Structure 1
Amino acid sequence: MLKKLYRTIRLFPKRGREPYVSFYKILNFYPYNIMLYEQALLHKSSSIKLKDGRWINNERLEFLGDAILDAIVADIVFKEFEYKKEGFLTNMRSKIVQRETLNKLALNLGLDRLIKSSAKTGNHKTHMYGNALEALIGAIYLDQGYRIAKKFVHERLIVEHLNIETVAQQEVNFKSRLIEWSQKNKIPVEFRLIESFTDDNNNPIFYTAVDIYDFESGTGRGYSKKESQQRAAEEALDKINMDKEFLKEILILKEKESELPALEESPEENPSTDFTTNNETEKA
């Protein structure tokens, strides 16, 4: 209580000044640690080098905000839809936290006017706004705690800018979600058509698999390629979210893959030979 009062007193001279006013318009409260919020809107293309040599941007806050947002939305939909089953709740959370929704919410809040970025390609900007919103939620959590972060998500995002009943009726684009996960984690995903045929009523049937590295991670059937891909992607996402051993194997493969370039770039000569040659040159 005393700590909160002390913080409030310290904020008095800063109210009415920038950037506090800009953040207040978005948050509906004044930040305590303004640097966290400025970092949340600092794209990696405009990273800042600190005196200790570290480079900072919003990627770490985005990582934190992503996890906090998942927890908050799960909390909200669990209480909002009291009698719905797990599958419905999972789908609802996916619809709210998907990149397309977060991008729109970020634009509605006006984050695009505050983001600092030197990225020029449209590709970066596709995810920039949603990523910044996640980073902002991470900053709110660190600065104000879970309760205020949840209040921000519920009141400023869901109540003001989303009709939760309309969202419930929308379909989730599982393929887009899987590709988004793939790009964010730099893990290869491939959709592979296994077979296509016609059923007894002469309807076309497509059977698709999703490969993550060399693992067949999901399969799906449908009356179109798109439908079969959606079902395969849904199965793959369920496996990623539910099967901890599977995810662990994927992350191990990613780690091994990241080590390959370092091995390939190492000199062909034996390091011990180089060392001997250098010693001989020094003596000469």
Structure 2
Amino acid sequence: MQQSRKIRRGINKQPKKLQMPPAQKEKYRKFLSSINVNFENEELFIQAFTHSSYVNEHRIRPHDDNERLEFLGDAVLELAISQYLFKNYENMSEGEMTKLRASIVCEPSLAKIADELSFGDYVLLGKGEEMTGGRRRPALLADVFESFVGALYLDRGMESVYSFLEAYVYPKIAGGAFSDMMDYKSQLQELIQREGQGHIQYRIVQEKGPAHAREFVSEVWLENNQLGKGTGRSKKEAEQMAAQKALQKLDN
């Protein structure tokens, strides 16, 4: 009898499925409509906006957060951007396309687009993440953008992803919005060489996060002086972000 009660208590402690009142679901429906996204499964999009801190705090099933959708969305986004560049920039070399794609599919760019679309207003966060400004944190916004793309792909297919990007991302590429972000490292190297100040060196000082969402922290040094520190989802991106911070510091 005592063992039976323990089993029942264990069952009651099992994580629950994410549930949302109809009024709150309607909020997401209106939001998707406002950005001209047709959908069939609203639950996928709600999951795309569900941060792990919310899942942990509400004891919801671990995989109901947006991390798996982020993993998928990252791959879908890279493919969609690669295809756009391949079709529209016939004179661009493989190396140039790689650099431009990296400047688009990086944390600062994706976070900026997500912020412009007010994605942060719809993220489900735990209280701790909310209090520390998570709703406007660039890394979180970039992750949500990728999760959203993953949800859109699963719900409506690749053509809907292309349509969404045609409305909100491709025009920015055509307008040159990312051209100044292509290679901060080269800009910094040219500046240092021009001024004859010495040699610069990049150091990866930290790796964090799960394997599918790894984050790297890089520092850039000029001789014995640290010029900048940056974070990215690859070592190269982290170095680019560190170089960007260094350029901002030197400009000031």
Verify same fold: TM over 0.5: yes
Aligned identity (percent) is 23
Aligned to 1:208, what secondary structure does the other structure show? strand
- The answer to whether the Cα contact below 8 Å between 1:206 and 1:223 also exists between their aligned partners in 2 is yes
List per-residue Cα deviations over 1:148-185 (Å, max 9, x = no partner): 112211223332xx25342353133667xxxxxxxxxx
SS in 2 for 1:205: coil
Q: Distance in 1 between matches of 2:123 and 2:117?
A: 12
1 or 2 for the larger relative contact order (CA 8 Å, sep ≥6)?
A: 2
1:131 aligned to 2:124?
Answer: no
The 8 Å contact of residues 200 and 223 in structure 2, kept in 1 or not, is answered as: no
**Residues 210-225 of structure 1: matches in 2 within 5 Å?**
210=203
Aligned residues: CA RMSD: 3.7
Give the SS at the match of 1:19: helix
1:67 equivalent in alignment to 2:63: no
Alignment partner, residue 167 of structure 1: 177
Taking a change above 3 Å as real, the CA distance of residues 60 and 80 of structure 1, as seen in their structure-2 partners, is same
The structural deviation recorded for 1:36 is 0.2
| Contact 2:78 2:101 survives alignment (8 Å) | yes
Aligned equivalent of 2:22: none
Kept in 1: contact 2:37–2:164 (CA 8 A):
no
Distance in 2 (alpha carbons) for counterparts of 1:133 and 1:34: 16
Change (3 A) 1:163 1:77: closer
Structure 2 match to 1:274 = none
Q: Is 2:167 the partner of 1:155?
A: yes
TM-aligned CA distance change 1:158 to 1:225, over 3 Å = farther
* Alignment-derived partner of residue 155 in structure 2: 143
Q: Distance in 2 between matches of 1:221 and 1:129?
A: 29
Q: What 5-or-longer segments of structure 2 have no aligned partner?
A: 1-25, 186-191, 207-219, 238-252
TM-score by length of structure 2 reads 0.61
Runs (5+) with no aligned partner, structure 1: 1-16, 176-197, 214-219, 239-284
> Any idea what SS the aligned residue of 1:35 has?
helix
Q: 1:165 to 1:174 in 2, by over 3 A?
A: same
Assess if the C-alpha contact under 8 Å between 1:43 and 1:115 holds in 2.
yes
Counterpart residue number, 1:268: none
1:22 is aligned to 31
Counterpart of 1:237 in structure 2 is 236
Question: What is the number of equivalent residue pairs in this alignment?
Answer: 186
> Match of 1:100, SS?
helix
Query: Are the counterparts in 2 of residues 208 and 229 from structure 1 also a CA contact under 8 Å?
Result: no
Shift of 1:60: 0.8
Aligned match for 1:113, one of 102, 121, 142:
121
Alignment of 1:83-98 (within 5 A): 83-98=91-106
Amino acid of the structure 2 residue aligned with 1:237 = K
Q: Supply the AA of the counterpart residue of 1:90.
A: T
Return closer, same or farther for 1:212/1:155 CA change in 2, 3 Å cut-off. Answer: same
